[in-house]
Amino acid sequence: MTWKAMAAEQACDVLDFWLQASWPLTRDEVVGLAGELGWTADSEGTLSNPADGLSQPAVRAVDDLNGDFASMNFWLTDVIKDPSAEDEAFLNDRYTLFVREGKKRWGSPKLGRDALPSATWHTGGARITIGRSRRAVTAEFITPQYAVVLQKLGE
């Protein structure tokens, strides 16, 4: 099976796009900006990334208690239902390429020590994590104001 993934440069361009935003923003403001990436939103403001043609276009998003946009998580690769050894190699290779590109842009990440790898950068006040789950590679972007909240909570 042939799986799709965003190019590492493109994935980091998307994350850089969000780093450059004038935070804090409301969900409506984020939805407006997301259109510049080819992302869409339904009538309730639920974001989707159809532009990259991945098997899972949903963008999981969270607002904070003040109504400001807090974080988003989106897929960088297709989601593989039952990964074979070949699929595992594909996901590992893609993860490595994403982290390598992130390192070029944002410096050395903090590497997660869990069963599955992750790389986290604290840059521009925001927090970016690229993670390798069992079935996909994802990116998480936490806004600068929400990163402060999480830091105060010890996360």
pLDDT in tens, 2-61: 899 999 999 999 999 999 999 999 999 999 999 999 999 998 889 999 999 999 999 999
CA dihedral 104, 110, 111, 112 (to 10 degrees): -140
Measure the CA–CA gap between 144 and 150, rounded to whole angstroms. Answer: 10
**Could you tell me if residue 146 is inside a domain?**
yes
- Please report, rounded to a whole number, the percentage of residues in the chain having pLDDT higher than 70: 99
Longest distance between any two alpha carbons in the chain, whole Å? 45
| 118 within a domain of the structure (yes/no) | yes
Would you call the peptide bond into 109 cis, given omega within 30 degrees of 0 as the criterion? no
Total domain count, the chain: 1
Q: Is residue 82 part of a domain?
A: yes
pLDDT over 70 at 1, yes or no: no
Residue 1 forms part of a structural domain: no
- Domain of residue 51 covers 8-152
Contact 32, 42 (CB under 8 A): no
Asked, for residue 50, whether it belongs to a domain, the answer is yes
Mean pLDDT of the chain: 95
Residues 137 and 38: their CA atoms lie apart, in Å, by 20
Judge whether 114 lies within some domain: yes
Confidence of residue 78 (pLDDT cuts 50, 70, 90): very high
Mean pLDDT over 82-86 rounds to 94
Determine, yes or no, domain membership for 33.
Answer: yes
The answer as to whether 78 is a domain residue is: yes
In whole angstroms, give the CA distance from residue 102 to residue 9. 9
